[in-house]
Amino acid sequence: TNPSDFSGIAGVYYQLDITPTVTLSPTFVAGTGINSLANRSVSSEGQHSIYIWLQDGAGNSERYHYQVLPNAFKYDATSPQCDALGKQGTLGNNGFYTSPVTVTLAGHDALSGLAAYHYRINEGSWITVPVSSAPMVFSQDGRYIINHRVSDLAGNIQSTPCQETIWIDATAPTSPVSPIVTPSDWTRTNSFTVSWTNPTDTPAGIAAAYLKKSAPPASNRDGQRYESGGITSISGLTTDSEGETLAYVWLEDRAGNINYASRVAVSLKYDRTAPTTTLVKSGTLGNNGYYVSPVTLRFSATDAASGVATIYYRLNGGAEQIWNGSDIVLNQEGEYTVTFRAVDRAGNSEQPVKQEALKLDLTAPTGSLHVPSQYTASSSATVEWSGSDSSQGSGVERFSVEYRIGGCSPWQAWLSDTAATSSAFTDLWTNRFYYFRVRATDYAGNVSDWTEPDADDYIYREGLGNPSFDSCSLASWSTSGGLPVTNVTATGYDGSPSCMAQLNKQKWSGDPPEDAPGGVPVGGHGLIWQSIQLPLRECDRSLTLSFWYHIQTYDVAWGLVQ
């Protein structure tokens, strides 16, 4: 607004940025009553102050009478620029955030200053917010592509937006899917591969796996780490000992998220030790390792790790068979060789193959007895016996022999468990029948029945003294009667010389002719006898006493010898 002036205002001087009292380089714009300046320009961007003073119609002008408009011209032709986003959150691996992220938009402008932020997310619509707006918070897992730019107070807007990507994965992988072990069953080779299918893990994806054997993990990294993008298997695993070892597997994603509670367990089954088999025998064991009854065979096998799969056996070198759990019954006499082995579920076969020998003798032997002479005059007599066993039997080992005196008396032990097959029985009583029986025992301990005495299994001791006069003595005999008894030697009944008792009368000279030549008159007699007590007939055999004698007779013409 112009001041009052006598000659009136005729023009105006102005100068930019420099005080006219210091340096004078003004621009003059003439104009009667001029009170404005239009379409002025400045030499550079920024804020410019203008200094003005007036000239009147008489040409009067005073630079010291200036007025200043500080920062009157604000010229900003340069677009502002965005700055890197401010991000606050927990940064994991590979640029992933593992927590919600607070994002602050930022930019700069050298002149007029920022007026607003403009942004869009994942190619969405542009959103404009004042510079003073609150930060944005991203809390969901995923990828966020943020385009952002700024505008200034002069109206300039950034032509080429800035772009930044934020990855958020705050969730640990879930459990491995469908884990398997190769080999899946028991194995003799200590090498395993664990395989699985990875669960969906977005956006990071699986980066590594952890594995721990024997005991469950106690923390996220309590195991051996195997790193490989998208890993789905771990090979070359071994166990520290035979048996079933649990292996625990859990996953880590590329963001570093891991949760050991999501582990899965698989079983590594390693067995390098063969099973052990025992032959279980049921039967009656006799002597010398022989069974005297049918034998039932069963097998018992143990395996400390995988367990017994199959038991094989063979008898006497025959074809190998698989034992089905049923009893194997041996009921034939003879010797058996049983070989057997077990194979476990890992394929370990018992070595060396076990072998046991069995002997069966199921039949008792038989015995027989023989008395060479049933009659004796001696106090001793020989008894013989024998035994036999079956062709597959153990053979006769020993005998027991009993006797009894008289058929009604009890049996008495004579010889027990003797290997002899004959013996002399001594101290025979006179006028007694002795009976014998035998029982055989084989090497297996089988005992036969006692033999039944037959017609010849006895001995009778003669009770008559010198019954056949063989001693040529009559000492055992008593005599009486009119005829004297003498011992003579004469031809016996079998034609050989034999002692005999002769009953006659001694011839004397002068005897009448009727007494000659034998000296036994008609009607003469003599007696010879012994008294003995015979066995009871109801208990024993009948006895026969035979008399053999010669009689010579003469007629009265005794002198005529025919």
Q: Model confidence over 31-43: pLDDT tens digits?
A: 999 999 999 999 9
Q: Tell me: the pLDDT tens digits for 41-83? A: 999 999 999 999 999 999 999 999 999 999 999 999 999 999 9
pLDDT attached to residue 86: 96
Query: What are the Cα distances from residue 500, in Å, to 117, 468, 471?
Result: 170, 7, 9
Determine if the pTM surpasses 0.75. Answer: no
pLDDT surpasses 60 at 167: yes
Q: How confident is the model at residue 554 (pLDDT cuts 50, 70, 90)?
A: low
Tell how far CA 296 is from the center of its chain. 25
pLDDT attached to residue 558: 54
pLDDT surpasses 90 at 303: yes
Question: Average pLDDT in the 314-343 region?
Answer: 97
pLDDT attached to residue 223: 97
Tokens of 541: 């055999």
**Residue 150: enclosing H or E segment and its boundaries?**
strand 142-152
Q: Tell me: the pLDDT tens digits for 467-524? A: 888 888 888 899 888 778 888 888 887 888 888 888 876 554 444 544 445 556 667 7
342 φ/ψ angles, rounded to the nearest 5 degrees: -125, 150
Of 400, 395, 337, 385, give the one whose Cα is nearest residue 363.
395
Tokens of 82: 């965005």
pLDDT attached to residue 516: 46
d(CA 402, CA 423): 12
The one-letter amino acid at 135: P
102: exposed, middle or buried (Cβ count in 10 Å: 0-12, 13-18, 19+) = middle
pLDDT attached to residue 561: 52
pLDDT attached to residue 307: 96
pLDDT attached to residue 26: 95
d(CA 505, CA 511): 11
Q: Is the bond preceding 203 in cis, omega lying within 30 degrees of 0?
A: yes
pLDDT surpasses 70 at 401: yes
Residue-by-residue DSSP string for 52-73: EEEEETT--B-GGG-EEEEEEE
Tokens of 353: 């193959």
d(CA 150, CA 120): 12
pLDDT attached to residue 491: 84
pLDDT surpasses 70 at 562: no
The one-letter amino acid at 290: Y
pLDDT surpasses 80 at 389: yes
d(CA 274, CA 553): 107
Q: Which residues are 360's β-sheet partners?
A: 291, 334
Average pLDDT, the chain: 92
Q: Which residue has the tokens 């927590």?
A: 99
pLDDT attached to residue 508: 47
Cα first-last separation, the chain: 228
DSSP state of 514: G
- Residue 86 contacts by C-beta under 8 Å, 6 or more apart in sequence? 102, 103, 104, 105, 106, 135
The one-letter amino acid at 150: V
Length of the chain: 562
pLDDT surpasses 80 at 395: yes
pLDDT attached to residue 515: 46
Higher pLDDT, 432 or 468: 432
Question: Average pLDDT in the 86-95 region?
Answer: 96
Higher pLDDT, 550 or 436: 436
Q: How confident is the model at residue 1 (pLDDT cuts 50, 70, 90)?
A: very high
Q: How confident is the model at residue 321 (pLDDT cuts 50, 70, 90)?
A: very high
Tokens of 504: 């006659």
Asked if 353 and 338 count as a contact pair (C-beta separation under 8 A), the reply is no
